């Protein structure tokens, strides 16, 4: 298998690994208020996460930013929880309002999660600095995996809202409450105070 496929697969499995479900929680609550008609902002959010994740790998590779893994592991569930709480307070409102905050949270989560994965990723490249071909393949894998998660969330949204007659507001509240319930144990397990 060539390098592109190896690193593409690494990015794909990094997001879709059920033992590390933080990506799925974050993406689910992030796009809960969107539908298929909102594909542009959804794609923008997913790509912004990938860019943040990739940027943090570059920053870590060149020792431009170094953060404690303990802080990173704490910030990951914090960003999920903040996004879910945001969704609770904005359920039923126009998804176009507050886009800047969502973009900032998404970029922050991408940066934080990239730092959390940087040690492992950099150990796979076997060299100092960044192999940009491998980094690109990894980023494409992350983007593809996130699009898979988003597609599943949007399909579930369609089923719950069309067939089961959930209102959009109730769907968003359901997802936000579920994500809060699942992220609190992550936060408690990684508490740093």
Query: In whole angstroms, what is the distance from residue 155 CA to residue 164 CA?
Result: 13
Give the separation between CA 80 and CA 86, rounded to whole angstroms.
Answer: 10
Burial environment of residue 63 by CB neighbours within 10 A (0 to 12, 13 to 18, 19 or more): exposed
Cα distance between residue 136 and residue 114, in whole Å? 14
Distance CA 45, CA 51 (A): 10
| pTM given for the model | 0.88
Q: Please state the φ and ψ torsions of residue 103, each to the nearest 5 degrees.
A: -65, -40
- Stronger pLDDT, 99 or 13, i.e. the higher one: 13
- Nearest one of 115, 106, 138, 100 to 31, comparing CA atoms: 106
Name the residue with higher pLDDT: 59 or 127: 59
Question: Which pLDDT band holds residue 30 (cuts at 50, 70, 90)?
Answer: very high
pLDDT tens sequence across 62-120: 778 888 889 988 999 998 999 999 999 888 777 666 778 889 889 988 998 888 777 77
User: Tell me, what's the pLDDT at 118?
Assistant: 79
Identify the pLDDT of residue 184.
Answer: 94
DSSP 3-state of 129: coil
Positive or negative: CA dihedral 57, 63, 69, 75: negative
Measured at the alpha carbon of residue 5, what is the angle toward residues 28 and 27, in degrees to the nearest 5?
5
pLDDT (0 to 100) of residue 175:
96
């Amino acid at each position: 298998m060539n390098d592109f496929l190896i690193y593409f697969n690494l990015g794909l499995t990094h997001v879709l690994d059920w033992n590390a479900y933080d990506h799925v929680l974050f993406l689910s609550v992030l796009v809960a208020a969107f539908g298929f008609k909102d594909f542009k902002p959804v794609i923008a959010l997913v790509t912004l996460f990938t860019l943040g994740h990739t940027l943090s790998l570059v920053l870590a590779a060149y020792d431009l930013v170094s953060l404690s893994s303990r802080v990173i592991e704490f910030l990951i569930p914090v960003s999920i929880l903040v996004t879910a709480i945001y969704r609770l307070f904005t359920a039923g409102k126009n998804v176009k309002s507050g886009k800047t905050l969502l973009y900032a949270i998404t970029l922050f989560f991408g940066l934080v999660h990239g730092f959390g994965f940087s040690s492992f990723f950099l150990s796979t490249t076997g060299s100092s600095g960044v192999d940009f071909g491998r980094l690109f393949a990894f980023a494409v894998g992350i983007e593809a995996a996130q699009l898979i998660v988003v597609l599943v969330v949007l399909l579930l949204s369609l089923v719950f809202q069309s067939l089961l007659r959930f209102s959009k507001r109730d769907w968003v509240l359901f997802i936000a409450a579920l994500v809060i319930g699942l992220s609190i144990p992550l936060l408690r397990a990684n508490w740093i105070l």
